[in-house]
Amino acid sequence: MNTEKTIEELHELLKSGQITSEELVKESLLKSHEVQEKCNAFVTILDDAKGREVTNDLLSGIPYGIKDNYSTKGILTTGSSNTLKDYVPFFDATAVSNLAKHGAIPVNKTALDEFGMGGTGTTCHTGVVRNPWDLQRMCAGSSSGSAAAVAFGVYPYALGSDTGDSIRKPAAFCGIVGYKPTYGMISRYGLFPFASSLDHCGVLTRSVKDAAIVVDAMKGKDKNDLTSWNSSNIHLYESINESLKGKKLFYIKEIANLDNYPDASSELKEHLENFQKTIELLKSNGAVVDEVSMDITLLNAISSVYVCISCAEATSNMSNLTGIIFGPRGNGSNVMDMIKDHRTKGFSPLIKRRFVIGSYILQRENQEKYFVNAQRVRRLIVDKINEFFKSYDALILPVSTGPAPYLDGSKDEMTNDNTTILEEHLQIGNFGGFPSITIPNGFISGLPVGVNITGKCYDDVNVLSIAYGLECLMPYKNQIAKLREVKDE
């Protein structure tokens, strides 16, 4: 299939006339329906999508997917929530309109955990998203549909958003690349907010180079987003190079060292050993990788800090969802009852739980203790990591505790160890707004696993170069999910 190729390859085919944009779009739509049937990856498939003119722009004429929390003008955008199940925006998110300027063609809107507030792909209003490598397993989330579709080869890339690890974890579980650049490099205008200070736009691809090409097109200072910044002097695609010589990396012992997990499951053991193999590979190619130690108290605080800040901001950000201006109007004899009815019916229990937490944390009597303290600890963590960045190019860590878990949790191999840090450390990237990329680095039980590389703010070229160098040393570049036969044992 052509849609399984890289952007550079597709551009060559299009330029030389071996395939037309129209044909490519048709292929992509065909594949969309296939993956929809198997994985339930989409909210909307844009069957009337048309080919576009092929120019010298690498993205011109090539189809792609948009996570359904990016506003798309005239196209249903739900955030995978019943509260917006019929909402059609009248403006494009800046990232989407930027891609349109490059000739990119959206062919579907991908499913996500409701408003990005979940990490399983199981809370979408259109149902559970399944992992294209094994339909009994999850993709993780919240960019679940995007990850599934890219891994399946529907197109070379799909947009994601990342508040805790929502691009980078599904990428790992689906054996692809997930990249969120420095905070503010891509405008968030038009992206449904989850937690504004942590939300990042980004992309899921099958190669580092493709990620660079796409983010080059998405990024830029936007007058509609005050947190966006001018990156016109940064050219990711042109600047990345694969040489690892002299690159200095570190990993945190308390997270990645197998000794921390005496009761490790076989998958966890394999995962961490595989991580060490990746480290050796880096070292043997001229990189320096050090094991460093970090205060375990700070590390243990990561997930609570994340919960406090993200839930608090989310509670406020989603107060506009009242069903008064948009979304289904609730029933009630007065406006407050109507709002209550809309929200009670519209949100999934998981979101309501987060709203309750957020509301509690923001209450006058709790704010100092929870919210303000969480912000202080966030600062401490970021300061500590930045201190490391003074002597290192990047932080490298394994993603999660192994391959994608089963959707039916009872089938998972359990461990008695506390693996929270291993599951949640990607949130460091959101705390600091750091550029962060996940690439596949092996297989466990026949399923892909990933490794993450995170660098200092504005140093995206360096982070991508290290990822690119490592990718070139491994056989997983541009891999397509190979669906395993579903066996009921």
Partner 1 sequence: MSKYKAVIGLEMHCELKSKSKVFSSARNSYNDIPNDNVRPLDMAFPGTLPTLNKESVREALMMAMVLNCEIPPYMYFDRKNYYYPDLPKGYQITQMHSPVGVNGKITIQIDDTYKDILIHDIHLEEDSASLDHYIDTSLIDYNRSGVPLLELVTEPCLNSAEEAVAFLEYMRLVYQYCGVSDADTKLGQIRCDVNVSIMDKDAKELGTKVEIKNVNSFSNVYDAINYEIKRQTELKDNGRYNEVEQETRRFDEETGTTIRMRGKVDAIDYKYFVEPNIPKYKLASSWLESIKKSIPELPYERKQKYINEYNLSEYDANIIIKNKEYADYFEECVNLGINPKTVANYLIVQIIAYLNKTNTELKDFYLKPIYLKQITEEVDNGHISSKQAKEVFNKSLEERREPKNYITKDNAQISDKDALISIVKNILDNNKSQIEEYKNGKSNLFDYFVGQVMKETRGKANPPMVKEILNELLNK
Under the binding rule (CB under 8 A), the answer on residue 458 touching partner 1 is: no
* Residues in 177-206 at the binding interface with partner 1, rule: CB under 8 A: 188-193, 196-197
Q: Which stretch binds partner 1 (CB under 8 A): 20-28, 66-74, 261-269, 271-279?
A: 66-74
* Options 80, 142, 161, 231, the catalytic residue: 142
Decide if 166 is catalytic: yes
Which helix (H) or strand (E) element contains residue 439?
strand 436-444
DSSP string computed for 138-189: E--SSSHHHHHHHHHTSSSEEEEEESSSTTHHHHHHTTSEEEE-STTSS--T
In 236-295, alpha helices (H) = 236-239, 253-256, 266-284
Residue placing its CB nearer to partner 1 in the complex, 224 or 241? 224
Q: Which of 1, 30, 336, 356 binds partner 1 (CB under 8 A)?
A: 336
Residue placing its CB nearer to partner 1 in the complex, 74 or 409? 74
Residue 221 CB contacts under 8 Å (≥ 6 apart), including other chains: 187, 228, 229, 230, 231, 232
Residue 18 CB contacts under 8 Å (≥ 6 apart), including other chains: none
Under the binding rule (CB under 8 A), the answer on residue 163 touching partner 1 is: no
Under the binding rule (CB under 8 A), the answer on residue 344 touching partner 1 is: no
Q: Which of 42, 155, 370, 371 binds partner 1 (CB under 8 A)?
A: 371
Q: Which of 230, 319, 344, 386 binds partner 1 (CB under 8 A)?
A: 319
The residue count for binding partner 1 (CB under 8 A) is 45
Q: Which stretch binds partner 1 (CB under 8 A): 89-97, 163-171, 420-428, 447-455?
A: 89-97
Under the binding rule (CB under 8 A), the answer on residue 359 touching partner 1 is: yes
Q: Which of 46, 84, 218, 255 binds partner 1 (CB under 8 A)?
A: 84
DSSP symbol at 416: S
Q: Which of 48, 223, 232, 487 binds partner 1 (CB under 8 A)?
A: 223
Residue 469 class from Cβ within 10 Å (0-12 exposed, 13-18 middle, 19+ buried)? buried
Under the binding rule (CB under 8 A), the answer on residue 323 touching partner 1 is: no
Residue placing its CB nearer to partner 1 in the complex, 1 or 372? 372
DSSP string computed for 198-210: T-EEEEEESSHHH
* Options 80, 97, 166, 400, the catalytic residue: 166
Q: Which stretch binds partner 1 (CB under 8 A): 77-85, 208-216, 426-434, 444-452?
A: 77-85
State the Cα torsion 282-287-288-289 to the nearest 10°: -30
109 strand-pairing partners: 44, 66
Q: Which of 30, 226, 292, 356 binds partner 1 (CB under 8 A)?
A: 226
Instruction: Report the distance separating Cα 113 and Cα 225, nearest Å.
Output: 24
Decide if 304 is catalytic: no
At residue 28, φ and ψ (nearest 5 deg) are: -65, -40
Question: Catalytic residue numbers?
Answer: 67, 142, 166
